[in-house]
Structure 1
Amino acid sequence: MACEVLEMIAEELQILPKDRLSKLIRDGKSDSCFRLNHYPPCPQLQLLTGQNLIGFGEHTDPQIISVVRSNNTSGLQICLRDGSWVSVPPDHTSFHFNVGDSLQVMTNGRFRSVKHRVFADGLRSKVSMIYFGGLPLDEIITPLSCVMEEDEESLYKEFTWSEYKKSAYKTRLGDNRLGLFEKSAVK
């Protein structure tokens, strides 16, 4: 399913061949992974604090794409451009796709990675299953020339997936991890 969505993105952006993005996560050396998150109910703690409990703090996913499926418990929120947060209605029959930092770079910012967070429900258990479409560790991440307009400058310097991962592990979850690779940060 992630590959099909990446191929639709490639088609829309006129990236050829159509499987240029999807083959990165189909590669036998792909750094893709699957994670299951469980957020148990914490009614006593929520009563004491009077606040929603953060289950997973704000962040963007570093991979090319993430596919999320959850049970019918609310908690997932995305950050809008104005900095406000909106809840994603829970729907155990739907999949949610998040653009990752790598796809943001490859499209030179045409697709933006989605900052999101998860709150734990005070009364109900939340379960999320996430497929993170990762690239091979030695894959060079740079804006694709086929998406660039004539005379358009790259917003990012070239780096490998391995370099990005090492850099990301040295930062806090909510930090702009792409900031270290932005051309404006290099000057």
Structure 2
Amino acid sequence: MVVASQKSTSREKILPIELPVVDLSAERSTVTKLIVKACEDYGFFNVVNHGVPRDTIAKMEEAGFNFFAKPMALKKQLPLYGCHSIGFNGDVGDVEYLLLATTPPSIDHFKNISNVPSNFSSTVSAYTEGVRELACEILELMAEGLGVPDAMAFSRLIRAVDSDSVLRFNHYPPILNKDCKDKDESPSYSHTKVGFGDHSDPQILTILRSNDVPGLQISLQDGVWNPVAPDPEAFCVNVGDLLQVMTNGRFVSVTHRVVTNSCKYRMSVAYFGAPPLDAGIVPPSVMVTPQRPSLFKTFTWAEYKKVTYSMRLGERRIDLFRK
């Protein structure tokens, strides 16, 4: 099992890594085993043959790039747009972002904003539906692989009409330096600037899509960062804090960050699958045994979300809820 990094150190090592790749079209029992092993060993994996239409993905990426290409004055008119500041506690990064709730009324709201393209709402809606179904499918495969009798024990939480799931666009500027002989080259890992600092995702599951530009790094042990190469054919999936609790520590929510270590703009679109605010976060009974007693206190997503917003990047929030 991996041990998540607590914080960055001045003696970091950079060791590239290849994440497991799970083909969702493979035989089901094989898929469930691969997903469980990936979540235990890495907390991250890539999925291919995921069923989200290429056209849906392409339109979403085009809409994102078009938005970030707008003048700053227009972007700042949207209350859900942010630049450099991350959270409410002084964290900063070399990033601009757009954060959207995934409920239909929230998405429909963009139809009435003059500086947002008319098809933005429909594009976001189609993409959100696709990645939500993918997240639910993966969560049900996880439950099956863990031997949970109720296959929807995890997915039911993000299928709820009052789910607190969100969609986040992150846009990172390039580093243009002497290593960039042209815009298609990437500099060495030694030339890095943190775009989004050390953190774990607080929700249940993240479905991440990025353009074909590197930047994501995960930390499987303290002081070591493992760059993850982007795969244009795949979605990157990672375990969130809530899923670590709901699997009673079988799966680990791993610390990760993003660096702007390329000569091209990087944009990622992350779907964060979250439960309703009043949902109690507890593992299914089968995950708690005399040999593996319950590791975490019972809490609601609202309680955990409040803690998340009160802490800075790099601080392990989940440790506050250990018994």
Length-normalised TM-score, structure 1: 0.90
Match of 1:152 in 2: 292
Give, as a single letter, the amino acid of the residue that structure 2 aligns with 1:32. S
Secondary structure of 1:80's match? strand
Aligned to 2:316: 176
1:21 and 2:154 aligned: yes
The question of 1:78 aligning with 2:228 is answered no
2:136 equivalent to 1:3: yes
Larger Rg: 2
Q: Give the corresponding residue for 2:44.
A: none
Q: Does 1:141 align with 2:281?
A: yes
Quick one: distance in 2 between partners of 1:173 and 1:104?
A: 18
Q: Give the ranges of 4+ consecutive aligned residues of structure 1 lying more than 3 Å apart after TM superposition.
A: none
How much does 1:57 deviate? Answer: 0.5
Q: Equivalents in 2 of 1:17, 1:136: separation in Å? A: 19
2:305 pairs with 151, 165, 171, which one? Answer: 165
Residue 180 of structure 1 and its aligned partner are, at CA, apart by 1.2
5+ long unaligned stretches in structure 1: none
Go from structure 1 to structure 2 and tell me whether the alpha carbon gap of 1:145 and 1:83 turns closer, same or farther (over 3 Å shift). Answer: farther
Q: Deviations over 1:1-23 (max 9, x none)?
A: 11111000000111121111111
C-alpha separation in 2, matches of 1:151 and 1:74: 41
Note if contact 2:296-2:321 (Cα within 8 Å) is conserved in structure 1: yes
Q: CA deviation at 1:157?
A: 0.5
Deviation at 1:141, TM superposition (A): 0.8
On the 8 A contact 1:75/1:121 being kept in 2, the answer is: yes
Measured after TM superposition, the shift of residue 42 of structure 1 is 3.5
8 Å CA contact 1:41–1:120 kept in 2: the answer is yes
Given the alignment of the two structures, is residue 67 of structure 1 paired with residue 207 of structure 2, yes or no? yes
| Unmatched 5+ stretches in structure 2 | 1-133, 181-189
CA distance in 2, matches of 1:166, 1:155: 21
Name the aligned partner's letter for residue 98 of structure 1. Answer: N
The alpha carbon displacement at 1:115 in A equals: 1.1
Do 1:53 and 1:122's aligned partners in 2 also have CA atoms closer than 8 Å? no
Say whether residues 1:109 and 2:229 are aligned partners: no
User: Aligned partner of 2:249: which letter?
Assistant: G
Deviations 1:24-50 (A, max 9, x none): 100001110111110012426x99xx7
Please report how far the alpha carbon of residue 133 of structure 1 lies from its aligned counterpart in structure 2 after TM superposition.
Answer: 0.3
Q: Is the 8 A contact 2:215 2:262 kept in 1?
A: no
Aligned partner of 2:77 in structure 1 is none
Moved more, 142-151 or 57-66: 142-151
Could you tell me how far apart the structure 2 residues matched to 1:145 and 1:98 are?
23
In terms of mean alpha carbon deviation, does 113-122 or 94-103 score higher?
113-122
Number of residues of Structure 1 aligned to a counterpart in Structure 2: 180
Residue identity matched to 2:286 = C
Shift of residue 82, structure 1, vs aligned partner:
5.1
Quote the offset at 1:81 in angstroms: 3.2
Q: Which of 127-136 and 139-148 deviates more?
A: 139-148
Identity of aligned residues (%): 50
